[in-house]
A and B are shown apart, each in its own frame.
Chain A
Amino acid sequence: MVELLLLSRLQFAITVAFHFLFVPLTLGLALLVAGMETIYYKNKDETWRRMADFWGRVFKINFAIGLVTGLAMTFQFGTNWGAYAEFMGDVFGPPLAVEALLAFFLEGTFFGAWIFLDRSRQKLKAFSMWMVALGTNISSLWIITANGFMQNPVGYEMAADGSKVVMTDFFALLTNSYVWYMLIHTLLSAYLLTAFLIMGICAYHFLKRNNNEVFRKSFRIAVAIALITAVLLPVLGHGYAQYVAELQPAKGAAMDAVWETGSRVPMYLIQVPDSSTGSNSVQLLEIPGLASFLYTGSFNGTITGLNQLAQDELPPVGMVFWSFRLMTILGSLFIIEALLGLYLQKSGKLYTSDKYLKLLMWSIPLPYIAITAGWIVAEVGRQPWIVYGLLKTANGISSVPISDVLLSIVLISAFYLILMVFEIYLIKKTVVNATGAE
């Protein structure tokens, strides 16, 4: 059973991680391309048409994989997480079905329309892209609503025999405080990722001294978005940390590796947690009371330590801790890079600042890493629960032959690998070949 659990989790991790590589860019680019299409419709300025064309091409390649790998997620709930599906169907099913009705149909239908409509029907083309953007962004609301229940169950009661949850209040599901925190955090990080990808691609062309108006304008928009989102994310994250510490004490304590309950808990700039001893093997550069402040809002606040919590209900501390650290460090880097970009652009030095441009290019993967790390904090941090406090992950799996799961992991991984190579090849070709003048 242990192997089956491990394999089921591995399969889920592979499918969701791969799917989620394509989602954030889709969310951000859809809105930007829709905006470009609309401005071109209004002012008939060729620069905007070229921008819509170029970023639209990137969007198309990215969107197609996001769409088809999303299918794998729906399948997973039945194939590998059947017990979870039975336990949660009453609550989890409706948001998923509504997502299909409200979001997927918009995306699927209007994506086709946007691609195949030519510029003689620009108004419809722009409209179609707005519908795609609306669809993708609505979609995130519904999937986070479903996920929100797994993090913070509300509006339900247990069935008399304890076999499943039954929905009692749909409105409570929608107004779940966790959902709104997470939705804004997720959308902001998606927009940040989009902005950094655009900045990185523009930087590549600036380095080639190909700094025409298409890339200049794109950069100006992207750097503004990057700055706004990079600053808002930690501000929001601060509120989120306090919220999590209250909602899921184990996740909160693991994020900063607080082992013993106490008030005026310090934060260490250098810290290495060790689960085997239930303490930190290294802790240096202490800032008194900062952890208390971050997690409770007061420097004297009390944090419940990991050693005082139920030991069989702790997440893997190291994984959560390091992911959280990585995310926050990258988050700070994003603010610096965005500020620097704004300064260089305003002072007119941007197009010749080769070091900064190279930095931007190499920064393209960083938001992806930060988002994955954040996702690990949120989802691994809730372990061993699949539905917090109600159902353990171990009890959520389907009982299927291990060989079947193994075979499917190999099949899907191989297939995803091919897709990945193909996607990178296509995007790279699109980006490298673009001159901004076509």
Chain B
Amino acid sequence: MFDFLTHDMLTVIWFFLWCVIWGVYFIVDSFSLGAGLLAPFIATDKVQMIQIQRSVGPFWGGNEVWLILAAGGTFAAFPLVFSKMFTFLYLPMMLLLIGLIARGISVEYLHKDESPRIQKALTWGWFVGSLLISLVLGVAFANFFKGLEIASGGVYMGTLLGLFSPYALIGSILFVLMNVTSGALWISIKTEGAIAAKAGDLAKKSTLTVLVLALVYLAYSFVGIDGFTINYSATPALYLLPILAVMTTALAVFFAKKDREFPAFCSNLLALLFVVQSGLASIYPYMLKSSVSPEYGIDIFEAASSHMTLSIMLGGALVFVPIVIIYQLWAYTLFREKITEIEQVGY
């Protein structure tokens, strides 16, 4: 299969697909993570809590699979990167795992028991899980863009504390805030009543903060991160990515101010996508960039699977990714009505 493509070409295609899958995950899970981050603070009573839960309940599980696909795809296409990424970042990955389990269980079980104490614990479980996921992924990806302390022979020198540089902190806070914005806008789109209004108001402020922070983060990336601009200088067209990132964050502010939540929501999702892609574009051909010296990094050609494995998976992806997208979009149309304040936990 795909014999007309050389191994190197397949490898580059898979790097591109890898960026796409991560991008899709970041945007589709942003609103469920955001709803979890907001839930304990903006829901004033049980009715509103149910509204928030119902707004993401049917979708979060299917959306999270994009993360599993991203991990599984890394395993299959770039096993060396998969192994190193999880080994180097052992404890953060464990925290991410705990976050994913806590979030999943909390959302699913939130109203399966009438006890207010259990419901309260699960509300906070949802929050803590969402926060852990957002923070760990934010810190991890900022470090991928900055480069990990990989010395010669693929030896990792980094420490847990060393991951929390100012750059990584700004990146992760930006990521958390973009998720919060996504969640706020989603809630205001999907629900009716007081909670929708409150979420809409919150989005007005958070989009503005995102705009400011995105500018700081991107400026920091281009000025303060070693080697960030190499690919940009070689292919100036890439500058479109950060430019679009800034434009879409600005658009989100604009639309949120005008109470046009849906375009604001879409702008925020695009902004998220472009911010991530701006970073990913900078590391090519490395997947794990080394901050010690570029030649110690792990590049895609070194890490790639065989021609056969890459081509079988490309075939699989070309056939099944569109099918998945179609039925996931269809699932969104199943639940298109706004969630009113009289909703019961009818499940």
Contact = CB atoms under 8 A, between A and B. Distances in A.
Given A75-B71, A78-B93, A115-B58, A100 B65 contact: yes
Contacts of A400: 87, 90
Contacts of B58: 112-113, 115-116
Given A115-B347, A116-B54, A82 B86 contact: yes
Contact of B83 (A71, A85, A94, A407): A85
Given A79-B86, A82-B86, A97-B69, A112 B105 contact: no
A164 B303 CA distance: 12
B83 A69 contact: no
B305 A93 contact: yes
Contacts of B93: 75, 78-79
* Number of chain A interface residues as a range: 35 or more
A92 B62 contact: no
B104 A101 contact: no
Contacts of A124: 334
Contact of A78 (B59, B83, B108, B335): B83
A94 B87 contact: no
Interface stretch (B230-238, B254-262, B324-332): B324-332
Interface stretch (A103-111, A339-347, A366-374): A103-111
B91 interface: yes
Contacts of A100: 65, 68-69, 72-73
A170 B312 contact: yes
A429 B113 contact: yes
A112 B331 contact: yes
Contacts of B84: 82
Contacts of B86: 75, 77-79, 82, 85, 398
Nearest to B102: A415
Contacts of B312: 94, 167, 170
Give the residue among A82, A83, A118, A168 with the most B Cβ atoms within 10 A: A82
A169 to B, nearest CB: 8
Interface string A68-80: 1101101101110
A422 B308 contact: no
Given A86-B79, A109-B61, A167 B109 contact: no
Nearest to B64: A108
Given A79-B94, A112-B331, A422-B109, A97 B75 contact: yes
A171 to B, nearest CB: 10
Given A108-B65, A407-B91, A415-B98, A113 B331 contact: yes
Interface residues of B, number: 61
B101 interface: yes
Contacts of A429: 113
A90 B79 contact: yes
B77 interface: yes
B94 A92 contact: no
Contacts of A69: 101
DSSP class of B's interface residues: helix, strand, loop or mixed?
A: helix
Contact of B71 (A74, A88, A108, A111): A74
Interface in A417-438: 419, 422, 426, 429
B164 interface: no
Contacts of A116: 54, 57-58, 335, 347
Contacts of A115: 57-58, 347
A186 B93 CA distance: 30
Nearest to B312: A170
Nearest to B69: A100
Among A65, A90, A429, chain B packs the most CB atoms within 10 A around the CB of A90
Contacts of B306: 90, 166-167
Nearest to A78: B86
A101 B309 contact: no
A93 B72 contact: yes
Given A89-B305, A170-B308, A399-B87, A78 B75 contact: yes
Given A64-B105, A77-B75, A167-B306, 14 more contacts: A72-B97, A75-B71, A82-B87, A93-B309, A96-B76, A97-B73, A98-B316, A107-B65, A112-B58, A112-B59, A112-B331, A408-B91, A411-B94, A426-B112
Interface of B: 54, 57-65, 68-69, 71-73, 75-80, 82-87, 90-91, 93-94, 96-98, 100-102, 104-105, 108-109, 112-113, 305-306, 308-309, 312-313, 316-317, 320-321, 324, 327-328, 331, 334-335, 346-347
- Return the 6 tightest CB-CB contacts between A and B, nearest first: A89-B79, A78-B86, A93-B76, A109-B62, A82-B83, A64-B108
